[in-house]
Amino acid sequence: MIEARRLHILRAVADHRTVTAAAAALYLTPSAVSQQLTALEQETGHRLVERGAKGVRLTPAGEILLAHTNAVLAQLERAEAELAAYRSGAAGTVTVASFATGIVLVVAPALTSLAATAPGIRVRVQDAEGDASLPMVLDRQVDIAVAVEYRGAPDADDPRLTHVPLYAEPFDAVVPVTHRLADTAEVPLAELAKDPWIGPYPGNPCHDVVVLACENAGFQPRLQHSSDDFRAVVALACADAGVALVPRSALHGMDLTGVVVRPVDGTAPTRRVFAAVRRGAEEHPLIRPVLDALGEAAAMG
């Protein structure tokens, strides 16, 4: 008989590629993870993982079991949701991980709504970038991630996750007031090919949006300054340190003295924001109201 908790460990190892990283995500010791993998191999009668200099990879048998693992764990999430519904009385805590602007735009308004419509649900919020929040959901560290589409992110049809689209927003060009394009109605990105750039660090989903937009315009941005804080990005542009692309909502309420903000000429780079939960958990009586409240906040925003 295969134990479900060992399937959680197998998936964590597949996701994180090393025993040490999987152990950290699951709050276990590496030796405990190794012991559980060994036990799982004994239960299945197959070698499931291979260890190498670059980490751990699944064997063909391990890949077969992983495909079933995603289905089994999703069904267990559904079972928990139905049992929670059977108990009725939606009262408990839901943990949401979101990047900062997502907290402002949808998470905080959702909390206000839930306080009136579902007072028994307590929401705990953690600030986390989109590329960090999805692994947190898969590792059961949080219940819901408010995340951004990015290269390398799990697809909408990933068997481990259920995606709920929330909103999409364009990036605007931010240039110093002294910039040669400051008086244009719209900024052609190709005209910024030789400028120094300011932007998020690699790994931040917004970094991917900026780089991809520049690549589509025919150049690689010359990133001279890096910050994941858009207030810092705008401050550097104010200091004439370079140009930037910034999500429109991140500019709300910001001191824009010293810069001009212009739409991008043509198809604007866009970040698409969604909520994600472990597949099967979307109908949990605690999680469903939070997802609905996030969707309503996004629609009103």
Where are the chain's structural domains? 4-84, 90-166+272-300, 168-271
Residue 89's pLDDT band, with cuts at 50, 70 and 90, is low
CATH placement of domain 168-271: 3.40.190.10
Residue 122 half-sphere exposure toward CB, CA atoms < 13 A: 3
183-235: per-residue pLDDT in tens? 999 999 999 999 999 999 988 888 989 999 999 999 999 999 999 999 999 99
- Classify domain 90-166+272-300 at the CATH class level: alpha beta
Evaluate whether 90-166+272-300 and 168-271 have a shared fold: yes
20-32: per-residue pLDDT in tens? 999 998 889 999 9
Separation between Cα atoms, residue 188 and residue 54, nearest integer Å: 42
166-188: per-residue pLDDT in tens? 999 999 999 999 999 999 999 99
**Residue 86, pLDDT above cutoff 70:** no
- DSSP at 104: I
- Structure tokens of 37? 């993998």
User: 4-84 architecture in CATH?
Assistant: Orthogonal Bundle (1.10)
Around Cβ 60, how many Cβ atoms within 10 Å? 10
**Residue pair 179/165 in contact by the 8 Å Cβ criterion:** no
Residue 273's pLDDT band, with cuts at 50, 70 and 90, is very high
Residue 78's pLDDT band, with cuts at 50, 70 and 90, is confident
Longest dimension (CA), the chain: 70
In 3D, which of 233, 229, 243, 113 has the Cα closest to residue 176? Answer: 243
- Structure tokens of 218? 């025919």
- Cα–Cα distances in angstroms (integers) from residue 4 to residues 44, 69, 112, 157, 285, in the given order: 13, 8, 37, 23, 23
